[in-house]
Amino acid sequence: MTYSKRLNDRKMDELRPIEAKVGVIERADGSAMFKIGNTWAYASVYGPRNLYPKFMQDPQSGILRVNYNMMPFSGSGERVRPGANRRAKEISMVSEKALLPVLDLKEFPNSVVDVFIELPQTEAGSRCAGICAASMALADAGLNMKDLVAAVSVGRVDDKLLVDLDYSEEAYEDGPVADIPIAMMPQSGKITLLQMDGEVTKEDLRKAIGMGKEACGRIYEVMKKALKEKYEVQ
Amino acid sequence: MYNELRSHVLKLLKADTRLDGRRATEYREPIKVEQGIICTAEGSARVTIGGTQVMVGVKLEIGEPFPDRPDEGTIMVGAELLPLSNPDFELGPPSIQAVELARVVDRGIRESKAVDFKSLCIEPGEKVWLVIIDICPINDAGNLFDASALAALAALKNTRFPKVEDGKISYKEKTNKGMKVVKDPVSVTVCKVGDALIVDPLTEEEKIIDARLTVASTADGTLCALQKGGSMPLSVEDVEKMVAIGISKGKELRVALER
């Protein structure tokens, strides 16, 4: 059987419904919520603030620190044990690298900008949702940014290329699957996060990235709208 | 450390007002309870008290009963003071504040017998339900104790058992069978500053209080858990007054739960 129609009735390039809101956590210097389908991310930004211990300080520039965390009840199966695991550590690191290129922290030597990404509910694409939330939260914190960062997972299920895989597609068993999370700076079209697991040809990869770029453009519009909702002068 | 803040708060309290204009024993508005907000949890709730927002999710697992209670399941409460919710919280293993919060919420539910542990038995001596309640603050603007206890109760009341096939949980399929919650234990934390007693402290007020007493009580006014905190002692009269405030304010919180 080939994968002719998506299990969830979406079109091949159709994203799940998105909800985005900026300024959702009062105590943070910047915050945002990004929900795509059943995947739900909060991000808050604290800083620039003093960085301790002192040996971690960089006298040339501020540093960015990102932490990705799934809440214990956010997985569809068993409870997720709280605290950092290997997966969360890696995602924190790649998310940090995905966001850093749009920031200029030279103005804030010896300081840190902390980004905390929390997921109350997940169903595939959680690192991408986290990056979208984080990028809006950084803008909400008033930091100088070259661009936003939009992220989505694209992939191949059987012989089809599609956008924003959900859990049923990631777990598709009747054919090969490739899951490719991508983060982009929508204005320049440059890629700041790229991962892949599964199997795919290099032609399909090129096409999938093209679809990801187009989808990131649409996500970018949603993110801009959410920011304008908070900041536009009436 | 906060001497000026403290004398300012005390001065305001002499005129029966607070930093945000409230009276001493007035809760912030709104008090809001939303249930069933997280589809990956078997039960969930989000509680808002003024600017404070807490999410609680319930996960169910199957485990072995304790040898001395072969026909009873049990609850476990965890709390993480997420650095997302407060600039003073740090990453890492649960701090003593998080452990205290989790244990006080645990005791309110456990000791009130809100959940009949016998109803969590699947196969005596072999298999019982473990009810895991996790507390995650989203925005900590003060009084996590009362918000967390209320959210934990609301999440329990929202809990549906998943389907079990050959002893394994099929998390994707929830049954119509809900968690039986037979009592409504609610916590009210009463704080003492100077000679004044206040409820629902803001983060700023939490820094300058002399002592606090968390009073968990059920709808009929029975006390089910207490926790004194803070570094100053309380007189017996203080305790009596604080308990009375705790029980009467608890009724207000219970109204929010039923709304």
What ipTM did this prediction achieve? 0.94
pLDDT tens sequence across A86-120: 999 999 999 999 999 999 999 999 999 999 999 99
Q: Taking 70 as the threshold, does the pLDDT of residue A213 lie above it?
A: yes
CATH number at A18-226: 3.30.230.70
Q: CB A74 to CB B83 under 8 A?
A: no
Amino acid at A73: F
The pLDDT of residue B124: 93
Please indicate whether residue A70 or residue B170 has the higher confidence score (pLDDT): A70
The pLDDT of residue A207: 95
With cut-offs at 50, 70 and 90, classify the pLDDT of residue B151: very high
Q: What is the distance between the alpha carbons of residues B156 and B132, in angstroms, rounded to a whole number?
A: 10
The pLDDT of residue A215: 97
Touching check for A96 and chain B: CB below 8 Å? no
Please indicate whether residue B184 or residue A233 has the higher confidence score (pLDDT): B184
- Specify the pTM: 0.95
pLDDT tens sequence across B59-112: 999 999 999 999 999 999 999 999 999 999 999 999 999 999 999 999 999 999
Q: Taking 80 as the threshold, does the pLDDT of residue A234 lie above it?
A: no
Q: What is the distance between the alpha carbons of residues B105 and B103, in angstroms, rounded to a whole number?
A: 5
**Tokens found for residue B255:** 């109204």
From B59, B33, B90, select the one nearest A84 (Cα to Cα).
Answer: B90
**Tokens found for residue A161:** 């290329």
With cut-offs at 50, 70 and 90, classify the pLDDT of residue B250: very high
Mean pLDDT of B196-208: 96
The pLDDT of residue A8: 80
pLDDT tens sequence across A131-188: 999 999 999 999 999 999 999 999 999 889 999 999 888 888 888 899 999 999 999 9
pLDDT tens sequence across A40-77: 999 999 999 999 999 999 999 999 999 999 999 999 89
From A32, A190, A182, A21, select the one nearest A102 (Cα to Cα).
Answer: A190
Q: Taking 60 as the threshold, does the pLDDT of residue A1 lie above it?
A: no
Q: Please, which residues have CB within 8 angstroms of residue A56's CB and are 6 or more apart in sequence?
A: A63, A112
Q: What is the distance between the alpha carbons of residues B43 and B152, in angstroms, rounded to a whole number?
A: 9
With cut-offs at 50, 70 and 90, classify the pLDDT of residue B256: very high
Touching check for A75 and chain B: CB below 8 Å? yes
Residues of A in contact with B93 (CB under 8 A): 83
The pLDDT of residue A2: 64
Residues of A in contact with B203 (CB under 8 A): 27
> In the CATH scheme, what is the homologous superfamily, with its name and number, of domain B3-258?
GHMP Kinase, N-terminal domain (3.30.230.70)
Q: Closest chain A residue to B133 measured between Cα atoms?
A: A73
Question: Strands A197-198, A190-194: parallel, antiparallel or unpaired by DSSP?
Answer: unpaired
Q: Taking 90 as the threshold, does the pLDDT of residue B121 lie above it?
A: yes
Residues of B in contact with A27 (CB under 8 A): 51, 85-87, 139-141, 203
Give the SS3 label for residue A89: helix
Q: What is the distance between the alpha carbons of residues B162 and B131, in angstroms, rounded to a whole number?
A: 12
Q: What is the distance between the alpha carbons of residues B236 and B233, in angstroms, rounded to a whole number?
A: 10
Touching check for A26 and chain B: CB below 8 Å? yes
Q: Closest chain B residue to A122 measured between Cα atoms?
A: B40
With cut-offs at 50, 70 and 90, classify the pLDDT of residue A3: confident
CA distances from A147 to A101, A113, A219, B35, B86 (A): 9, 17, 13, 37, 27
From B4, B6, B9, B5, select the one nearest B24 (Cα to Cα).
Answer: B9
C-beta separation of B38 from B44 below 8 A: yes
User: What is the torsional sign of CA B136, B141, B146, B147?
Assistant: negative
Q: Which residue has the tokens 């902390």?
A: A114
Q: Give CA B24 to chain center in angstroms.
A: 21
With cut-offs at 50, 70 and 90, classify the pLDDT of residue A19: very high
Mean pLDDT of B21-47: 96
How far A170 CA sits from the closest chain B CA (Å)? 16
Q: Taking 60 as the threshold, does the pLDDT of residue B33 lie above it?
A: yes
Q: CB A116 to CB B82 under 8 A?
A: yes
Percent over 90 (pLDDT), chain A: 86
Residues of A in contact with B91 (CB under 8 A): 67, 84
Mean pLDDT of B169-178: 88
Question: Any idea where the domains of chain B sit in the sequence?
Answer: 3-258
Which of A67, A72, A114 shows the shortest C-beta gap to B78? A72
Touching check for B63 and chain A: CB below 8 Å? no
The pLDDT of residue B1: 76
Which of B59, B83, B84 shows the shortest C-beta gap to A42? B84
How far B118 CA sits from the closest chain A CA (Å)? 23
Q: What is the distance between the alpha carbons of residues A84 and A67, in angstroms, rounded to a whole number?
A: 9
Q: What is the mean pLDDT of chain A?
A: 94
From A57, A122, A137, A25, select the one nearest B141 (Cα to Cα).
Answer: A25
The pLDDT of residue A125: 94
**Residues 138 through 197 of chain A touching chain B, CB cutoff 8 Å:** none
How far A188 CA sits from the closest chain B CA (Å)? 30
